[in-house]
Structure 1
Amino acid sequence: MSENVVVIYSGGMDSFTVLHKALREGKNVHALSFNYGQRHKKELDYAASVCDSIGVPHKIVDISAINSLVGGSALTSDIEVPEGHYEEPSMKQTVVPNRNMILLSLAVGYAVSLEAKEVYYGAHAGDHAIYPDCRPEFVHRMNDVCGIANYTPVKIVTPYIDESKTAILTDGLNMGLDYGKTWTCYNGREKACGKCGACEERLEAFRDNNATDPLEYE
């Protein structure tokens, strides 16, 4: 019998790759997405579509009420989304306070209810400069806490914590994944903007892989 695991699945290319990596490892995946009051819900629609197409159980949990507590980010508040690469200080405007700790806590609770021993999420090295809750030291401390927070310990699994987005895409392309089924852009318009940090990093990964991004850009 396959082992139950929870995958935090945003609908973006990183979590899309993590989802399929867990499936390739023979795990019984339960995908978990969150509406935390982000600027748009387009990536959640992509997540739902993927899970429906491959028969993966999927929950979208509305925790948007927390927006009144953790505002001040360009992803959750009425602040213009900055353009440019993640290495630029302006991208700190996209940090949502304590987001991953909140999401991981809820995912671990879900894992315990499923008798699952692992929660996967798509932190990677490209996020380390801007997002403290994607850094190895955060993951290590969360693992310590999740090992004692319940009667059953739960492990936080980050298969790409030391890898770049380019490496994640390389792995996904080797698995034959279709990244037209993912949404990365911080803006939720009909086409991806191609200018925000998320788009720039995504396009850079495709260039590094000598591949063409199947998404349409403005």
Structure 2
Amino acid sequence: MTTKDGLIVLSGGMDSVTLLYEYQDSLALAVSFDYGSKHNARELPYARLHCERLGIEHLTIPLSFIGQHFRSALLEGGGAIPKGSYDEENMAATVVPFRNGIMLSIAAGLAESRGLTKVYLANHFGDHAIYPDCRASFIRPMHEAILQGTSNAVEVTAPYTDISKGDIARHGKLLGINYAETWSCYEGGDLQCGSCATCIERREAMQEAGIEDPTHYKQ
């Protein structure tokens, strides 16, 4: 029998939902963060939905200070989300400074408080060029700091660090995940826009995995 000694940082997007299903037998707790992003209101209900379905405890922790004091187009009031595919110039605006560092620190403290020994994060290779806190060069020292800084030696487990979103979608296909019950679009709103970088990446990942995209897009 697998020991449930893990906590997952769960957004409600494709990557973290796939990780949730893949490692569900090891997870005692899922944690989402409401940090003032334009798409929080669309992602968080999916995070709750999947946790309820799998019988995994789910917490949402408010981080309103990020939305109030940090600068990013991803945040409410932060300017327009760039359109088009990922590239350094147009996606730099969507970086939320040290977001994963902040969330991992909180998750590590929560894991230590609960006696859990693993924190799961769904960062992936496709994020690395744009988002510094998704790279292996960030995850490795963060893992070591958390390991040394917690009384029960909490480990950061980031199994998607060196694979693409298309690879993640392949995992999800094998797991039978309905990606209509996930959210990617940075704009929020009633429908995913279909033309921002995350929507484009979502479409391409499902195409690579041979999944018929169930998402309703604006365009």
User: TM (normalized to structure 1)?
Assistant: 0.95
What's the counterpart of residue 49 of structure 1?
Answer: 49
Q: Helix, strand or coil: the match of 2:23? A: helix
Q: Which moved more, 1:54-63 or 1:80-89?
A: 80-89
Cα offset, 1:95, TM superposition: 0.2
- The one-letter amino acid of 1:79's match is G
Distance 1:78 1:133 in 2: 20
- After TM superposition, where is structure 1 displaced by more than 6 Å over at least 4 residues in a row? none
Distance 2:152 2:54 in 1: 29
Distance 1:201 1:104 in 2: 24
Q: Helix, strand or coil: the match of 2:148? A: coil
What's the counterpart of residue 136 of structure 2?
Answer: 136
Kept in 2, the 8 Å contact 1:51–1:57? The answer is: yes
Alignment RMSD = 1.2
Structure 1 residues 65-84: aligned runs within 5 Å: 65-70=65-70, 72-76=71-75, 77-84=77-84
Cα offset, 1:28, TM superposition: 3.2
Distance 1:3 1:209 in 2: 30
What's the counterpart of residue 95 of structure 1?
Answer: 95
Distance 1:139 1:216 in 2: 34
Task: Determine what percentage of the aligned residue pairs are the same residue.
Answer: 40
- The one-letter amino acid of 1:98's match is F
Structure 2 residue 47 is matched with structure 1 residue 32: no
The unaligned stretches of length 5 or more in structure 2 are none
Cα offset, 1:78, TM superposition: 2.8
Kept in 1, the 8 Å contact 2:88–2:129? The answer is: no
Distance 1:160 1:150 in 2: 24
What's the counterpart of residue 9 of structure 1?
Answer: 10
- Change in 2 beyond 3 A, CA 1:22/1:96: same
What's the counterpart of residue 20 of structure 2?
Answer: 19
- The one-letter amino acid of 1:179's match is Y
The unaligned stretches of length 5 or more in structure 1 are none
Structure 2 residue 196 is matched with structure 1 residue 196: yes
Partner deviation per Cα, 1:111-139 (whole Å, 9 max, x = no partner): 00111110001110000010000000100
- The one-letter amino acid of 1:64's match is S
Cα offset, 1:45, TM superposition: 1.3
Q: What is the number of equivalent residue pairs in this alignment?
A: 215
Kept in 1, the 8 Å contact 2:8–2:27? The answer is: no
Cα offset, 1:67, TM superposition: 2.4
Q: Helix, strand or coil: the match of 1:58? A: strand
Cα offset, 1:88, TM superposition: 4.4
Distance 2:27 2:43 in 1: 23
